[in-house]
Amino acid sequence: MANPVTSVGESLRGMGITLKNFFRKPVTVQYPEQMRQLPPRERGRHVLHRYENGLERCIACMLCSGTCPAAAIYIEPEENDPAQPTSFGERYARIFQIDMLRCIFCGYCQAACPTGAITLESNTALAEYSREKMLYNKENMLEPLGTSTRGAALAWEAPPPPEARAIIPDFKGVFDGWETTGAAVGKGNLTGQVGVQGAPKPVRQSEQSLAPGQAIPNTLPTGRTLGQGSAKEEK
């Protein structure tokens, strides 16, 4: 049988804890009436953005679907009507779907997008009653006509603090005659500018065009024969 003195002591200790917390400000929020303020870089529901002139930012380049590790994005591109374009590129996304049941909210699609067309916003109210409703269409995600925001893209523009910088340095320069970034050239180490003495020569300028039916030559643009300098041969 429990010692009555110990039991009373434990009860008093419990009441003391209750009294101590009774007048404290509650840490819970009355969701969904009350929403907690989430960080601007929170990765929630996707939004497709427009330019101020109403054109869709998405040019159906497929980079987002190509980079998506969950294969959650499905796009069907279509050529723009030059008289009434939907986007500023050659193509626009006729169908743009995201299967939110597959999405892992990694944000790779936003990072890969060259036009800032897709962002993940701090809206995490995603629950639905059916699987079909978790398949988001362009209509679910595209900003209404007359609205033009950049969303979470702004929150990611500021450079990261030094301790969060990537180990591999970023790169921006001229590659193949075009100004480009490290992502496009595999974080390479090209130096100098095209046209400047000693700078790497653009590959496309040195390529010979082939006549119809002509066999593809067995040489690389640098003059090396295919197979030379492979890891096996260099051993």
Q: Among residues 74 and 171, whose Cβ is nearest to ligand SF4? A: 74
Question: CB of 33 within 8 A of CB of 73?
Answer: no
- In whole angstroms, what is the distance from residue 116 CA to residue 91 CA? 16
Q: Pick out residues in 72-91 that bind ligand SF4 (CB under 6 A).
A: 72-73, 75
Stretch that binds ligand SF4, among 29-37, 52-60, 142-150, 167-175 (CB under 6 A): 52-60
Q: Among residues 131 and 224, whose Cβ is nearest to ligand SF4? A: 131
The nearest distance, CB 90 to ligand SF4, in angstroms, is 12
Q: Pick out residues in 108-137 that bind ligand SF4 (CB under 6 A).
A: 108-109, 112-113, 115, 117-118, 120
Q: Is 106 in the site for ligand SF4 (CB under 6 A)?
A: yes
Closest CA to 203 of 181, 183, 219: 219
- In whole angstroms, what is the distance from residue 219 CA to residue 175 CA? 21
Q: Is 47 in the site for ligand SF4 (CB under 6 A)?
A: no
Q: Is 98 in the site for ligand SF4 (CB under 6 A)?
A: yes
Q: Among residues 69 and 188, whose Cβ is nearest to ligand SF4? A: 69
Residue for token pair 């701090």: 122
